Amino acid sequence: MRSLIINEHMKIIYKKSNKVLFGGLLVLSITLSLITKRMVDGAGVNENIISYLSFTTGFLSILPFFAIAIASGIVANEFDWGTIKFLLIRPAKRSKVLLSKYVTVLLVSLYLFFVFFVSSMLLGALLFGFEYIKDDAALIKSTLIGYGLSYVETIVATTFAFSISTVFRNSSLAVGLSVLLTLAGEGFVQLLSTLKVSWGKYLLYANTDFGQYIGGSEPLFEGMTASFSIFVTAVYMVLFLVASWWTFTKRDMTV
């Protein structure tokens, strides 16, 4: 299993488009810090590394799209490149091959968050320094919670993209559907919430934002609780993974 995961990592590392993704993430982080520095200096506001890190949580919603791009191709590309048969003639069972790809997707998603966090921290220290830091424990806590909640949403988005990639063997379709549902899904459930359509609480994107249960916020729909959202999200995740497993292990793998 370990060798399979390492092999998947090597494929991702050597693919040029993935290098561009990580490079683009660094460029985004640098650009964000420079713009923020310019705005802060112009406004005469005292900022520090902690407040800047807290500010960056507002841009974490971009990271799922980077992860989706990788998850959408990790299975489908094997068919595009014609390498799927070579992959499946190995002693490892199909289920292990698929699991290694899914674990790799989750790890790469984590790497994206790590790169963004570390680059933001270094740039925050360089541009804003450690002055004016007093009692920022609450700010640090909210920042870490923000990163954690965003990673949960990313796991859901990448799992869906991974499932579409496996079932339809098409990376473009996986990217398109995942991005479309991520962008439109949240707006749609907000609309249903405004219209007080009760069945909206059973939709996936009504339950992936666990921030609605923090700080005394009201959930999107009446009757929703954190336990309810965890259950609904888990059901969708299981459905996605079962569909992926069934397709990958039972279907004829012709190229």
Note the pLDDT of residue 159. Answer: 92
Closest-CA residue to 9 (of 100, 81, 86): 100
The residue behind tokens 């919670």 is 145
CA distances from 179 to 108, 201, 249 (A): 18, 21, 26
219-251 pLDDT, tens digit per residue, is 888 888 889 999 999 999 999 999 988 888 776
pLDDT of residue 81: 59
DSSP state of 205: G
Q: What is the pLDDT of residue 150?
A: 92
- What was the pLDDT predicted at 46? 73
For residues 10-27, one letter each, b for 16 or more C-beta atoms within 10 angstroms of the residue's C-beta and e for the rest, the string is ebbeeeeebeebbeebee
Which pLDDT score is estimated for 11?
A: 78
Residue 200: which residues within 8 A CB-CB, separation 6 or more?
Answer: 189, 192, 193, 206, 220, 221
Q: Rounded distance, CA 115 to CA 193, Å? A: 35
pLDDT beneath 50, residues of the chain:
91, 255
